[in-house]
Amino acid sequence: MVLTVQEIGKCFGQQMVLQGVALSVAERQTLSVLGRSGCGKTTLLKIIAGLIAPDSGTVRLHGAEITKKPTEQRNVVYLYQEPLLFPHLTVFENIAFGLRLRRLPNNDLTHRTTRMLEHLELQAHAKKFPHQLSGGQKQRTAFGRAIIIAPDVLLLDEPFSSLDPETRASMQHLFKQLAQEYGIASLFVTHDLKEAILMGDSIGYMEAGKLTTFASRQEFINHPDYGARNEIEFWSSLRQQATNHDHAATV
């Protein structure tokens, strides 16, 4: 397993935010964590990233405990809901940011960043600043900036929530493609049922600080408590109705 989280607990004052949370993410796999706003998803991601210290429990990366390791030494990148690009840097410099921190030789840095720009179809925008980009382009830049340093785990906190449906769909597709290509393990947090099913190789459901994980998508879909089956049936019946209507119109 790349990432293993065991018995994580966290309180803010009197409020218990996380309680005995456990999960694991295998190599090249994405675990979707579905849950309503305020259920503790973001706190969980920030604990894994090292931005918040847990009250109890452990976080392991490739078997080694990293619970107390400084954030900058974990190689776990956290992506916010918004792209949060550095406004004073161009697209090229935003993507190259992590490589500059690692003091890569200039040739290598330029080569790798240019390749990433091509991959993300952002070559034409390399010299632009974030305010000159569309929402989708910003999000692609944010992905590029995260992936270029080959993180062990990528933590995504509802990264597509601010995008329109069309851009959202294309970004979901792009993310799956990049995750496969670069072999990245990821934890994808969302409150959107469809997105959770679409993005995750396995799925977890979080409610009031407790996480229930399912080994496969099918297991989650078949579970009666989470409404996935109802959702699928609703869309299937709608499609059936539309097909019948088209057939009747043709006749």
CA dihedral 220, 222, 225, 229 (to 10 degrees): 100
Q: Can you tell me which of 20, 53, 65, 71 binds other proteins, judged by CB under 8 A?
A: 71
Give the separation between CA 209 and CA 66, rounded to whole angstroms: 22
Closest distance to other proteins from the beta carbon of 125 (Å) = 14
Binder to other proteins among 80, 174, 217, 232 (CB under 8 A)?
Answer: 80
| Minimum CB distance to other proteins, residue 156 (Å) | 12
- Smallest distance from the beta carbon of 74 to other proteins, in angstroms? 8
Least spacing, CB of residue 132 vs other proteins, in Å: 7
> Where does this chain touch other proteins (CB under 8 A) — which range of 22-30, 76-84, 110-118, 179-187?
76-84
Binding of other proteins by 56 (CB under 8 A)? no
The residues, any chain, with a CB within 8 Å of residue 190's CB and separated by 6 or more, are 32, 33, 34, 158, 160, 161, 196, 199
Interaction pattern, residues 15-54, with other proteins; x per rule: CB under 8 A: ----------------------------------xxx---
Secondary structure (DSSP) of 205-246: EEETTEEEEESSHHHHHH-TTSSHHHHHHHHHHHHHHHHHHH
Nearer CB in complex with other proteins: 95/193: 95
CA distance 43 to 227: 25
Question: Within positions 116 to 175, which residues make up the interface with other proteins, using CB under 8 A?
Answer: 129, 131-132, 145-146, 149, 155
In what side-by-side order are the strands of the sheet with 3-12? 15-25, 3-12, 56-61, 64-65
Among residues 21, 25, 148, 143, the alpha carbon closest in space to that of 75 is found at: 148
Residues of this chain, 87-116, that bind other proteins according to CB under 8 A: 87-88, 97-98, 100-102
Task: Give least dist CB 71 to other proteins, A.
Answer: 5
Please choose, out of 15-23, 75-83, 197-205, 241-249, the segment that lies near other proteins by the rule CB under 8 A: 75-83
Pick the closest to residue 207 from 56, 19, 14 (CA basis).
19
Q: How far apart are CA 77 and CA 74, in angstroms?
A: 8
The residues that touch other proteins, with contacts defined as CB under 8 A, are: 49-51, 71-78, 80, 84, 86-88, 97-98, 100-102, 129, 131-132, 145-146, 149, 155
